[in-house]
Amino acid sequence: MSMTRQLWLSILASMLIALGVSLFASLLNARSYLESQLAMKNQDNATTLALALSQGNSDRDGVVLAVTALFDGGHYDLIQVVDPRGGSLVDKVAPPTDTGVPGWFTRLLPIRSLPGRAEITSGWQPIGTLTLMSHAEFAYRALWDTALAMSAAILAAGLMGGLLASLVLRRISRPLGAVLAQAHAINEHRFITMPEPRVPELRELAAAMNDTVNRLRIDFDEDARRYERMRRQANFDPLTGLANRTHFLASLDSALDMEGSPFDALAIIRLRKLGKINRALGRDVADQLLRQIGETVDEVADRCLGTLAGRLNGADFALLLPAGCDPKPALDNLLLELRHTLDSLAGDYATVYIAFAAFTPGDNPARVLARIDTTLAAADVDGDSSLREAPADTPDAGPTGGEEWRTTLRRALDGTDALRLAHYPLRVGDVHARHLESPLRLRGSGENEWLPAGRFLPIADRLGLVRELDLTTLKLALAELESDPGLSGLWINLSAKAIGDHAFRDRMLEVLAEHPASRNRLWLEIPESGGLARLEALRALSRDLKPLGCKLGLEHYGHHFDQIGRLYDLGLDFLKVDASFIHDLDTHPGNQAFLSGLLEIAHRIGMLVFAEGVERKEELATLEALGFDGASGLAIR
């Protein structure tokens, strides 16, 4: 029973007990009053009757006749006359009568009718002693009517008191509920504040909790800013603010090595004749030109959410473009803006070429860079600023057109054996716990050919089928968890677009509700860039998953560390740091300092932190020394 209900019942019970005692005391007082009035009436009647009989000079027979006549009138329970020698002249006793009052009431509150006594004389000679007692039924009825009236009044007062108690408790319970909701949110790693209630005691409690949350948030923001500076110093070019060569190439390696990479295209922007500009116009103009080009290149990230921009060397800039973003329109606009920048700052001194190439997980980074470099060389021969797409390295063995892909994916979704989960071990805490990363696979043209998710998910996204694929992934994962009770955790990816769809989230919760025994071993990963772009959907999903026991977190984390403050009240369970920050971590003190800070912040708000794409034992040892909660990659496999 809730505390407010207990309090309400206590108030009501106390009120009813007090009113009940008051009723009983009032009835006792009323009974005492009626008994005294009845005794006085009996004495008055006895005195009056004795006086009347004495003045009439009645003899013994006359007394008997008069008393008998009076008794037969029906107003008395008892009339007795005893002569001076103790003999009975008259002894009239009325039989029990119906008082019209319940028997339990007369037994609970009996009314004593004290008899009246008087002497009957004839002249100076005593005739006898008269004892008289009136009926008590009128007294019982009066007492019963009083009890009914007071009970009705007490019931009305009890109802009014209960109503007032309910209003008071509602005034208390609402802010108390808000305080409890804040406590539950903090327990779920969602650090929220609440309006301070009017109830003084609860206002002090809410103020103390809000103060704690605000101080934690201030410390959190200060630490986040400090470690963001570390991240930028270690991984970004000081002149342009773009990712430096080491970090960009590590991100490219990660995109090509990792299952479910958020990137699927690489573009390189090459500025020709930078040395000539430096000699002719001066270093300051050249630096200003490079800064302006860096700003223009970085603006592509605003058009294609999740884009990573970098500077490879003095005159070469690069872009890693996310899956689902059509690179050609974005790069066409970029070329126009770069031409305008060059015209305004360098005149005819410089030319800019852009070349791009699509890639899939498993491609060789050197081959991808070589394809683009060859295309840039061809553009340089022509001499004019231009945008070119590098030719594919090998013919595409999969479906070639949109309709062919639609047919293939539709057939897989409607079938039973064209989609499956791959499994890769993942270390989480105890080395004996068995956790598996499980990306989706699509059957290719061959019997044993399975296409990786990075090969078909971007196309499924453009065709509007990614939500159905995510739902299928969820069902496959739950089925595997049910068939393997010894599996400690199974990790699957969900697209950010899917979680932003209300219908998908409702259907997802329905599927999870059907598997209560296995859903608490399910770990769901959302890409960092897409999740942060749909923050309200992510918050709603986190809130819905908490009661079900599922774990929710962000993968490929770190490129938007400056937005870590937005994770403060989401209630996420974990972060998976992008492999670009893990690459050669044992020899990169800047990233070690940054990741140490990230761990401190995440652990403070209750999130686990994992590393993805760990390739070497030295990297793994460094992660363990820093305090990571787990890792995945070749070093684990």
3-state helix, strand, coil in the chain (%, to 5): 55, 20, 25
| Domain ranges, ordered by start, for the chain | 3-159, 238-389, 402-632
| C-alpha span between 472 and 466 (Å, rounded) | 10
Edge to edge, the sheet with strand 116-122 lists: 88-93, 76-82, 125-134, 116-122
Q: How confident is the model at residue 563 (pLDDT cuts 50, 70, 90)?
A: confident
Q: What percent of the chain has pLDDT over 70?
A: 91
Q: What is the pLDDT of residues 126-137, one digit of tens each?
A: 888 888 888 777
- 3-class DSSP assignment, residue 628: coil
Name the pLDDT band for 431 (thresholds 50, 70, 90).
Answer: low
Q: Can you give the C-alpha Rg of the chain in angstroms?
A: 47
Cα 556 from Cα 573, distance rounded (Å): 15
The predicted structure's pLDDT at residue 1: 58
Confidence label for 526 from pLDDT (cuts 50, 70 and 90): very high
Structure confidence by residue, pLDDT tens digits, 149-208? 888 887 887 788 778 777 777 777 777 777 777 777 776 666 777 777 776 767 777 788
Instruction: List Cα–Cα distances, 444 to 2, 411, 463, 561, in angstroms.
Output: 58, 12, 18, 38
Distance CA 50, CA 61 (A): 15
Question: What local confidence, expressed as pLDDT, does residue 474 receive?
Answer: 94
Residue 262 — φ and ψ, nearest 5°? -75, -10
Sheet with 450-452: list strands edge to edge.
419-421, 440-443, 450-452
Tokens 């772009």, located at residue? 533
Q: Return the sign of the alpha-carbon dihedral for residues 595, 601, 607, 608.
A: positive
Report residue 425 as tokens: 């071990």
CATH code of domain 238-389: 3.30.70.270
The residue type at 513: A
Q: For residue range 466-517, what is the model confidence (pLDDT) as tens digits?
A: 899 999 999 999 999 999 999 999 999 998 888 888 899 999 999 999 999 9
Q: Does the structure show a pLDDT above 60 at 397?
A: no
Q: pLDDT band for position 363 (50/70/90)?
A: confident
Residue 272 has pLDDT above 80, yes or no: no
Q: Helices marked H in 546-634 — which ranges?
A: 579-582, 589-604, 617-626
Position 94 pLDDT exceeds 70:
yes
Q: CATH for 402-632? A: 3.20.20.450
Q: Which CATH class is domain 3-159?
A: alpha beta
